[in-house]
Amino acid sequence: MKVIPMDRLAALELFVRVVESGSFSAAARERRLSQPAASKQVAALERSLGVRLLHRTTRKVTPTDEGLAYYDRAREAVQSLREAAAAVRTREAGLGGTLHVATSVGFGRVSVAPRVAAFLAAHPRLSIDLHMADAYVDLVREGIDVAIRVGELRDDGLIARRIGQSERVVVAAPDYVARHGEPNEPADLARHNCIVYTGLATVDRWPFEAGEEVETVAVRGNLRCTSGEGVLGAVLASAGITCAPLWQVGPEIAARRLKRLLPRHRPLPLPIHAVWPTSRRLSPRVKAFVDHLESGFQRCPWVAGFGLPRVKG
C-alpha cells in the first residue's frame, strides 16, 4: 500500500475544503493558516500533479474539470483516512477530536447546549464547535459534521435520522387574551393577530389534527420573524398569538406568563432529525453524540411532548 506523505495529505485536505467552501480564506481559517500559505499548498499540489485544479479570481474559487474529478477521489481518500484515524483513537483512548454541530438558536439554547456538558464530561478528549443560527446552513460548505433540525426536512440529499418529536401549542400572554378574547376553534384564529415564525415551511398556514384529517388554518398578523426567540419575546409582550414548540413555551406556560389556547385542538407536531452529509460516513463521535441527544430527548417533557395533559373534547 502506497503511503501518502503528511504534507501531501495536508494539501489534499486543504484542497477538499477549498472546493467545498468556495474560498481559500475560509479553508485557511479552519486549518489556522494564512490565506497565502493555503494558496501555496494547493499550488504545490497542482505542480506535483501537472494540472490546474482551481480557477482563481478576486471574488471566488471554482474547480476546473480536472479539479472536479480530482476532488471526488481526494474527498473519498481524506474521509477514509479520517475514519481510520478516528477508529484507532477511539479504540485506544475513547472519542477525541473536534465535533462540528449546527442547530437553531432557540432549540440549541433549550435542548442541545444543556446536554453538551454531560457528553463532554463522558468524553474528555473531545471538543464541540456548536454553530447556532436560525438561517439555513450548508453543512458541506461550513464543514459541519451533524446538524439537529426541527421541522420537515428539505430534499437536500442529506442523511437523516429521526431522534425526537416536538409537540406544539397555541399560546398568548394573559393580557392579550384579556383584551382580545380567546379563540374557541382553530378557524377563530383568522380574527386574531397571529405572530408568524418564517423558519418553517408552513409559515402562515398552521395545521391542526382533525381526526384522521388535517385542518389547515391561514393566519395573518402584523409581525413575521425569522427567529423563534424573537417570536417568543413578542408574544410575551402581548403582541399576539403564536403556534410554538412545547420545548420553547412549556416553562412560560408553567409560570403562567403564557396561556395555552385551543387545548382540545392539537397542532401537528414537528419532527426532530439529526442530519449529516452523504459525503461523510457516520463517524463514531457523531453516532455517540446523536445517541446521547436521542436518549435525553426521550426523557424530556418539553421535547417528547408529554409535559402538558391532553384535554379531551
pLDDT in tens, 106-128: 999 999 999 998 999 999 999 99
CA angle, 270 as apex, 268 and 273 as ends, to 5°? 155
Residue 52 has pLDDT above 80, yes or no: yes
Give the pLDDT of residue 146.
95
Mean pLDDT within 304-312? 58
Whether 119 and 146 have beta carbons less than 8 Å apart is answered as no
pLDDT bin (cut points 50, 70, 90) of residue 252 is very high
Fold of the 6-91 domain = Arc Repressor Mutant, subunit A (1.10.10)
Residue 2 has pLDDT above 50, yes or no: no
Q: Hey, do 94-166+271-304 and 168-268 end up sharing a CATH topology, with the first three levels equal?
A: yes
Structure confidence by residue, pLDDT tens digits, 54-101: 888 767 788 888 888 888 778 777 776 766 665 555 544 468 889 999
Torsion of CA 27, 131, 77, 293, to 10 degrees: 170
Q: List phi, psi (to 5°) of 134.
A: -80, -20
Mean pLDDT within 218-236? 95
The C-alpha atoms of residue 237 and residue 160 are separated, in whole angstroms, by: 37
Q: What percent of the chain has pLDDT over 70?
A: 88
Does 3.40.190.10 match the CATH number of domain 168-268? yes
Whether 241 and 194 have beta carbons less than 8 Å apart is answered as yes
Give the pLDDT of residue 169.
95
**What is the rounded average pLDDT for all residues in the chain?**
85
From residue 92, give the alpha-carbon distance in Å to each of 127, 244, 245, 250, 281: 17, 45, 42, 43, 21
For residues 221 and 211, which has the higher predicted lDDT (pLDDT)? 221
In CATH terms, the superfamily for domain 94-166+271-304 is Periplasmic binding protein-like II (3.40.190.10)
Residue 129 has pLDDT above 60, yes or no: yes
Structure confidence by residue, pLDDT tens digits, 147-197: 999 988 876 778 999 998 888 999 999 999 999 999 999 999 999 999 999
59 CB-near residues (< 8 Å, 6+ apart): none
The C-alpha atoms of residue 144 and residue 138 are separated, in whole angstroms, by: 8
Residues 4-35 as b or e (16 or more Cβ within 10 Å = b): eeeeeeebbbbbbbbbbbebbebbbebeebee
What does the domain layout of the chain look like in residue ranges?
A: 6-91, 94-166+271-304, 168-268
Give the pLDDT of residue 92.
44
Residue 291 has pLDDT above 90, yes or no: yes
